Amino acid sequence: MNLAFATGAAVLFGCGAYLLLHRDLFRVVGGIALISQAATLTLIASGLTRGRAPISPEPNEPVSDPVPQALALTALVIGLATLALLLALVHRLTVVLRTARHDELAAQEAQHESRLEPDRQRDRDEAT
């Protein structure tokens, strides 16, 4: 693997891992996107060989392998669709709950659960 590709993939992965550790969900989604791009760059770099296109190769001449390129293209399409879905979910969550931070979401969920507990207890009592 070329040193430039390895360095680029390592930087992308490191920045993505750093963003995953934030409390803001938009930054977490950005971290997932960067890690996905690092994996795609690694796929592209693994198939990096100099040679002609494998459509009409000359005998005893090196050809480039098309499989890593096809895998990278597939990974890009799937990554883009996943990123769009994650961004839509986080946006909807932010609009409804007016926050995109982990700790505030957990506090709101705990508060909502505590308000539902009397109803659950009443339903259990009625069932017995």
Coil, helix or strand at residue 113 = helix
| Section 2-21 average pLDDT | 95
pLDDT tens digits, residue range 45-92? Answer: 888 777 667 777 778 877 777 888 899 999 999 999 999 999 999 999
- pLDDT for the residue 67: 86
| Section 117-124 average pLDDT | 89
pLDDT tens digits, residue range 96-111? Answer: 999 999 899 999 999 9
- pLDDT for the residue 55: 75
Query: Residue written as tokens 């796929």?
Result: 43
Which residue ranges make up each domain of the chain? 3-52+65-101
The torsion angles phi and psi of 24, rounded to 5 degrees, stand at -80, 130
Q: What's the topology of domain 3-52+65-101?
A: Helix Hairpins (1.10.287)
What does the alpha-carbon distance between residue 80 and residue 40 come to, in Å, rounded to a whole number?
12
- For the chain, give the longest Cα–Cα distance: 82
pLDDT confidence of 1, banded at 50, 70, 90? low
